[in-house]
Every structure is written in structure tokens, then in C-alpha cells.
Structure 1
Amino acid sequence: MYLSLLPQFIDPAHGSVLGQSLALGMTQIVISLAVNALIVLMAGSIASFLELRPMWITVQRWLKGMVLAALAVRVATEARR
């Protein structure tokens, strides 16, 4: 990804190409790390919430089942067209 995406943002007139590449790469890594850490923390919070409320797990299972059933019906009806 770095070889295909970052070169379009590098301008040799603004200094060292290596320095710019490292700065852009590190910026992307720091942002990705922060976003992934936030996702992990939110997933842990949601898991704790669901663990304390078994009714939500039941509702979630029913919703997943209905969505999968609706997708199965849609696939079955599209195959006939």
C-alpha cells in the first residue's frame, strides 16, 4: 500500500523523499493504531453490556436469524429470475 499510495503525496521540492515517506507512513500507522484501539475498547464495552443483560443476547440472535432468513429468501427468489 505504501508504494502505491504515498508517492502521490511526496514532493521532492519540499525536502528529503525518504523523510517525507517516513513521516507519511508513521502518520498512517499512528492513526490506524488509534482507530483500532478505539474499536477494541468499544467492543469490550459492548461485550460487557451484553454479558450483564442476557435478554440482549436473545434479541441479537433473533435479529441475526431474521436477517439470514431474509437473505436466504432473497437469494432463492433471485435465482428464479
Structure 2
Amino acid sequence: MQVLINGLQHFASVNVKPKLQIVETFIKAYYLPETEYVHWARAHSEYSKSQIMGLINLVATMKGWKRKTRLEVLEKIEAL
């Protein structure tokens, strides 16, 4: 990610680092333990609910979460 940021700075007239920081944070969220997603969603209001729900669905599928776990996390985030 850092290589991409540095490379884009040579082509873009504005500083792209702050904008790519949002992307980097989203990517890093994929690697969180399942118990941290509700807290992460609460702390990162820069993402829409649909973006966060999409992330949770992706993580749940890729990491093989139980259906009940996925639904519980989604319900807690929806209630935020």
C-alpha cells in the first residue's frame, strides 16, 4: 500500500496520501478479529453503513464465520 501511495504522489497534483489512508484503514479492517468489528464500525464514521455491511459480509464469507455470528455483528452495526 505504501508503494502505491508513493507512486501515485508522482502522478497526482494533490496529495493523495490522506485519501488513500481511508482505503488502507478499510483494507486493514479485514484482518481484525470478529469481536472487533462493532467497535471498529463505531470508530470509523467515514464509511457508510453499506460499506461496513459489505465488509462484514465479505469477512464472514472468507473467514467462514457461522451464520449466527455474522447476523449478530450485522444487527449490532445496524443499531449504531
- Determine which structure has more spread, i.e. the larger CA radius of gyration: 1
TM-score with structure 1 setting the length: 0.32
- The higher-RCO structure (CA 8 Å, 6+ apart) is 2
TM-score with structure 2 setting the length: 0.32
- In terms of fraction of residues, the more helix-rich structure is 1
